[in-house]
Each structure stands twice: as C-alpha cells, then as structure tokens.
Amino acid sequence: MKVVIVGVGLIGGSFAKDVKKLHPEAEIIGVDKSESHLDEALELGIIDTKGDYGSLTLADMVFVSIPVNALVAELPKILDAAGDETVVIDAGSTKSLICQSVDEHPKRRNFMACHPIAGTEFSGPSAAIEGLYNGKTNIICEVEKTAFKLQERALAIFQDIGMRIRYMNPDAHDKHIAYVSHLSHISSFMLGKTVIEKEKNERDIFDMAGSGFESTVRLAKSSPDMWAPIFEQNKDNVVETLEEYIQNLTKFKKLIEDNDFESVHQEMNNTNRIKQILKGIPLTKK
Amino acid sequence: MKVVIVGVGLIGGSFAKDVKKLHPEAEIIGVDKSESHLDEALELGIIDTKGDYGSLTLADMVFVSIPVNALVAELPKILDAAGDETVVIDAGSTKSLICQSVDEHPKRRNFMACHPIAGTEFSGPSAAIEGLYNGKTNIICEVEKTAFKLQERALAIFQDIGMRIRYMNPDAHDKHIAYVSHLSHISSFMLGKTVIEKEKNERDIFDMAGSGFESTVRLAKSSPDMWAPIFEQNKDNVVETLEEYIQNLTKFKKLIEDNDFESVHQEMNNTNRIKQILKGIPLTKK
C-alpha cells in the first residue's frame, strides 16, 4: 500500500503513524511545502520518503491535512494529479467551501470529504502521536459522491484506527461545528488575551492561576495559521455563535450588576447538565 | 493533634486526608450543616468523629471550607467558639469581605486568611482526594494579623502537604483572582449555555464535540452553591473582567465581519504566548 500524506503536521503525522502500525509494509510518502517539516518527519520515522504531487498518481490513498485555505487551493490540483484508483481524503475543519471547490471536478468520485475530530493544541510533525484517532468521531460529508470502492478502502482504515463514523451534509457540519469547536477556540483565545492584557506583572498573576484557568485557556495555544482560515471559511456561522455567546455573557453580567444572584445561581444550575451531556461524548473515555 | 474540618466537601475533605496521612495520630472532627455529608465523610474515613462548634475550644487547628457567603456569617461564630490556642484557617475564594468580617473580632489573631488554589469541578466528600494540595499555591492575606505561633503551626502543615505560599493583601487578591479564576468560570458556564441552547438535538451535536470543547467547558460543571456567592462577594472585580472580556470578543467578531483576517491571525498570535506563561504555572507540573 502506498499512502501519501500532504501536510505532515500533527494531524497528517498521527494518521501516518497509525497506518504504519497497522500496515508495516505500507510506503508512506510525505509532501509538505515546508522542507524542514519533511526533514523532521523523516527523522522521526513518520514518513518513509519525501515526495511531490508526482507521487500521487500511483497512491492508494492521499491524506490531505493542511490549513483550510490551502486545502481549497490545493485540492483541485491534488485531484488532477491523483490516479484513477486513488482515494483522496481531507481533514479540514470546515466542509462547505472545500466540497464546493471540487464539486465539478472530473475526479470528484476520488475524493472523500472528512473531518476527523481529533487534535491537540500543539502542531508540527513532533506533535504527531500514535492512537490520536482511537475512539474519535470522523464526520464524512457527501459520501454519496465518492466511488463505492474508494469509500470502502477509506472506511476500512478509519475502522482499523478506531474511528466512529458520522455522515452529515457540509452546511450542517459547518453550522454545528461552529458551536462545539470554533466558538470554544475563540472564547479561549479571548480569555487569554483579557488576562494577559490586564496583568503587566505576569509572574504575580499567573502564580495565582489554577488548573481551572489552564484548562479554559488551553485552546489559546492553538495555531493561528490553522485557525484564521477556519474562521474565514466559516465566517457566518462563527459570527452567529459569537453573537449568542456575547449576549449570554452580557445577560449574566447584568444579573450580577442587578444583584440578582438567585438568577445567577439558576443560570449555572441549568448549565450544570453539561455534566450528563459530556458523559455521552465518546472522547471523554480516554 | 486535634483538627476540626468545618465543611467536609472536596476542599475540607482533601485537607483532612492529607493531615491524616502526615499525622496518623491526629483526631479529625467533622462539622457540617449537612448530616448526610458528615455520614459520608465518616464512612469514607475522612473524619474520625462528628462534632459541632463545641469541639472548637480544644482544637489545635480549624479548617473552614464552606461557601464564601456562609464563611462571612459563620467565621465570627467560629472564632467565638475557638480556644485561645486554636488557629482558624479559611479556604475562601474571595478574601476582602471575609477579612472584614472578623477584622474587629477579639480573636482576630487566631485567624489566618487563606486561599489554597486547588480544586476540581466536583464537590462533596466523595470528591476529596489525597495530594490535592501538592505543588499548589496558597495565598495568605494579612498574615501580620495572625499570632506568630499560630502562623508557624499553619505554615508547617502547608509546607508538609506541599503548598507554595504567597502573601497578598485581600483587595489585590480579589482583583487578580477575578481574572485568572472567576472569569474562566463564567466564560465556561456561558459557553456551555450557548451550545446547549442552540442544539435541541443534543445527541447529534455533542457527537461532534472534541476534547477542545470538553476542556473549555469543564468548569461549567462547577457547583452553583459555591460560585454564586463568590460572584456576589467579588462583584465589582468580576463585572470589570467581564466587561473587558466582552469587549475583546466584540472586537474579534468585528474583525471577522470586516474580513480582516490578518488582524484575526495577529490577535491569536499575540495570545499564543500564553504557552510560555502557562509553562511557568507550577500546577501544570502534574
């Protein structure tokens, strides 16, 4: 089996590690615009060789894990270069624009639009970890547009690395993911910003920070190169979630200002049921 | 050694466990307005016996870990009941009002105002864990108002259970802690609320939630009984942090609406230095 990873960072590198573990005979070829990332991936044993789009024609599988703005630009070229029997899988955190970018492509049937919901706040080849996808959800969009045989090949790998599959249309994906992922990142980034701005003497203030702050601000470590394009592509949904979030914060502040601490208590009590909801998230089973 | 724990939940129970481990001979007496919590603490071996304020007069140490509204009401009575040689320690997440509540008390020198920055999103005796305080920061306010001998006794225990000590005045504590703790909780509660409100079909949406959402929303599991009084006591600081947070979110939304994704990138890039800052937080060394 010949697998090409386009973008050998956390997501692509982790996928490569899992494939290699399952299929030690597989040849893993890395493609990346960063030569130093490729060198790093080689050294770490994540890929077997470096390649380019010329390597795609004989590939059984191409896994494209690059920022979503690059995805929209590169995906048509990748499909151009892919062989007739190659399945091209993306891992973009948005789906509408990506699906649109290849909707009329003559090799649309070689493409499977995916969003494996997995990751950490770190990035680059050194952040790649084996088993990242185990127990995680993979959202597949417009599955009916992918050739049956190629669907099967991709699904077999996803199953082997332990992913749960969910099918959705790209617009529903982008709308929902804005709430459970994109908004979390913005809330975390702005929390980090608010605290950093306020506290000139970092040492003193961060000495006081507990694990609660750490957990809430964790996503503010994420890569701007990855996230700015996501917010751009999912602009309308992200703005909508932000408006609702800001409204809820403003209402909560008003309750405090009005000394209505019964309602403050009630609001928190209602939200406590996130406990039960989170228990249902498969990812909590670490 | 005779130690009375007033409020045998996560905080008091964890303290009791550490004391018992260090001093197996110590007698741990539990006081709680909830009879069922006391029974549970007894069963779990967290306390040796149940007691009441009558038990305070012969105590070497009293650890008061109850919601901050109850603290303000009970602390004067606890000092009334304490013996001349008893050191009374609180664990409240606010400090100004608590210090004020006993400032003129004839036994003020028996009191040490503390905020051990430790905890989890869980509560009750069953949430108590050994070692909770190891490596965590304990903020002590107005230390000069505590009798030398009693300071020594308290500090020896804090050192033995692995806490780092920081001295602050109550107003500075309340101002800073609003940023690194109280604001995190509100941002998390409102994130949970926004997502729950939006998504009627929980199953579908939360299937899509990843570990990022989970980490950002973790604090929304916290106890409203504990947090509503904290926001009440620290109202002015909390409102100020919320205003700044809402302002930053609104600015970020505007940048997205204006398609200024260079600035969006820049904002996130600036906040990325939270990575370095968090590395300096001792609590990250788990």
Which of A181, A196, A214 has its CB closest to that of B271? A196
Cβ contact B208–A180 (<8 Å)? yes
| Percentage of residues in chain B having pLDDT higher than 90 | 86
CA–CA distance, B234 with A26 (Å, rounded to integer): 60
Cα B193 from Cα B184, distance rounded (Å): 14
Q: CB-based contact (8 Å) between A246 and chain B?
A: yes
Q: Which of A174, A190, A258 to mutate to test the interface with B (most CBs of B within 10 A)?
A: A190
Look at residues B221, B70, B277 and name the one whose alpha carbon lies nearest to residue A201: B277
- State residue A284's pLDDT score: 39
Å from A25 to nearest chain B CA? Answer: 32
* Facing A189 at nearest CB: one of B185, B268, B277: B268
pLDDT, residue A279, reads 75
pLDDT at position A212: 86
Domains of chain A (ranges, CATH numbers): 2-169 (3.40.50.720), 173-284 (1.10.3660.10)
- The H or E element spanning position A3 is strand A2-6
Does A263 touch chain B if contact means CB atoms closer than 8 Å?
no
Q: Which residues contact B187 (CB under 8 A, 6 or more apart)?
A: A187, A191, A216, A249, B245
What is the distance in angstroms between the Cα of B273 and the nearest Cα belonging to chain A?
8
Cβ separation of A176 and B205 shorter than 8 Å?
yes
User: Each residue of B254-264: pLDDT tens digit?
Assistant: 999 999 999 99
Contact B196 A118 (CB under 8 A): no
Return the structure tokens found at B53.
């304020």
Give the separation between CA A189 and CA A237, rounded to whole angstroms.
Answer: 18
Residue A140, classed as helix, strand or coil, is strand
**A215 interaction partners in chain B (CB closer than 8 Å):** 215-216, 218-219
- Give the residues across from A62 on adjacent strands: A4, A88
Query: Residues 114 to 153 of B: which have CB under 8 A from any A CB?
Result: 117-121, 136-137, 139
The predicted structure's pLDDT at residue A285: 36
Residue whose token pair is 């070692």: B131
The CA distance from A14 to B171, in Å, is: 48
Give A210→chain B minimum CA distance, Å: 6
- Window 27-56 of A, Cβ < 8 Å to B: none
User: DSSP E strands: which ranges in A87-237?
Assistant: 87-90, 111-117, 137-141, 164-168
Calpha distance B44→B12 (Å, rounded): 13
Q: Give the number of other Cβ atoms within 10 Å of residue A272's Cβ.
A: 17
Instruction: Please enumerate, as own/partner, the contacts of A262-270 that have beta carbons within 8 Å and a separation of 24 or more.
Output: A264/B224, A264/B228, A264/B231, A264/B232, A265/B224, A265/B225, A265/B228, A266/B224, A267/B189, A267/B193, A268/B189, A268/B220, A268/B222, A268/B224, A268/B227, A268/B228, A269/B224, A270/B193, A270/B196
Query: What are the chain B neighbours of A117 within 8 Å (beta carbons)?
Result: 208-210
- Residues in B closer than 8 angstroms to A118, CB to CB, are 210
Write out chain A's pLDDT in tens, 286 residues. Answer: 999 999 999 999 999 999 999 999 999 999 999 999 999 999 999 999 999 999 999 999 999 999 999 999 999 999 999 999 999 999 999 999 999 999 999 999 999 999 999 988 888 999 999 999 999 999 999 999 999 999 999 999 999 999 999 999 999 999 999 999 999 999 999 999 999 888 766 566 777 888 889 899 999 999 999 999 999 999 999 999 999 999 999 999 999 999 999 999 999 999 998 888 877 655 433 3
| pLDDT, position B45 | 97
- CA count, 13 A, side-chain hemisphere, B108: 14
Task: For A121, name the nearest residue in chain B, comparing CA atoms only.
Answer: B212
CB contact under 8 A, B281 and A252: no
User: Which residues in B208-242 are b (16+ Cβ under 10 Å) and which e?
Assistant: bbbbbbbbbbbbbbbbbbbbbbbbbbbbebbebbb
pLDDT of residue B122: 87
Between the alpha carbon of residue A283 and those of residues A139, A159, A172, B204, the distances in Å are 14, 16, 21, 14
pLDDT given for residue B280 in this prediction? 65
SS (H, E, C) chain B: CEEEEECCCHHHHHHHHHHHHHCCCCEEEEECCCHHHHHHHHHCCCCCEECCHHHHHHCCEEEECCCHHHHHHHHHHHHHHCCCCCEEEECCCCCHHHHHHCCCCCCHHHEEEEEEECCCCCCCHHHCCCCCCCCCEEEEECHHHCCHHHHHHHHHHHHHCCCEEEEECHHHHHHHHHHHHHHHHHHHHHHHHHHHHHCCCHHHHHHCCCHHHHHHCHHHHCCHHHHHHHHHHCHHHHHHHHHHHHHHHHHHHHHHHCCCHHHHHHHHHHHCCHHHHHHCCHHHCC
Residues of chain B found within 8 Å of residue A259, distances taken between Cβ atoms: 232, 235
A55 — phi, psi (to 5°)? -75, -10
Which residue's entry shows tokens 């290699």? A20
Proportion of chain B above pLDDT 70, given as a percent: 96
pLDDT tens for each residue of B37-63: 999 999 999 999 999 999 999 999 999
CA–CA gap between residue B88 and residue B79 (Å, rounded): 7
pLDDT confidence of residue B201: 61
Residues of chain A positioned with their CB less than 8 A from the CB of B94: none
End-to-end Cα, chain B, rounded Å? 30
Q: What is the distance between the alpha carbons of residues A173 and A167, in angstroms, rounded to a whole number?
A: 9
B42: closest CA of chain A, how far (Å): 27
Distance from CA of A167 to the nearest CA of B (A): 11
> pLDDT band at B284, cuts 50/70/90?
very low
Judged by a CB distance cut-off of 8 A, whether residue B104 touches chain A is no
- CB of B163 within 8 Å of a chain A CB? The answer is no
**What pLDDT, in 10s, does the model give residues B77-101?**
999 999 999 999 999 999 999 999 9
Average the pLDDT over each of A209-218, B58-67, B103-112, B276-285 and give the range with the smallest value.
B276-285
- B277, B284, B285: best to mutate for the A interface, most A CBs within 10 A: B277
Q: What is the DSSP letter of A113?
A: E
With 80 as the cut, is the pLDDT of residue B285 above it?
Answer: no
Which of A166, A179, A266 is opposite residue B198, by nearest beta carbon?
Answer: A179
**pLDDT of B112 over the 80 cut:** yes
Contact residues, chain B, for A139 at CB < 8 Å = 208
Q: Which of A177, A193, A283 sits opposite B214 (nearest CB)?
A: A283
Nearest chain B CA: its distance from A27 CA (Å): 30
- The amino acid at residue B185 is H
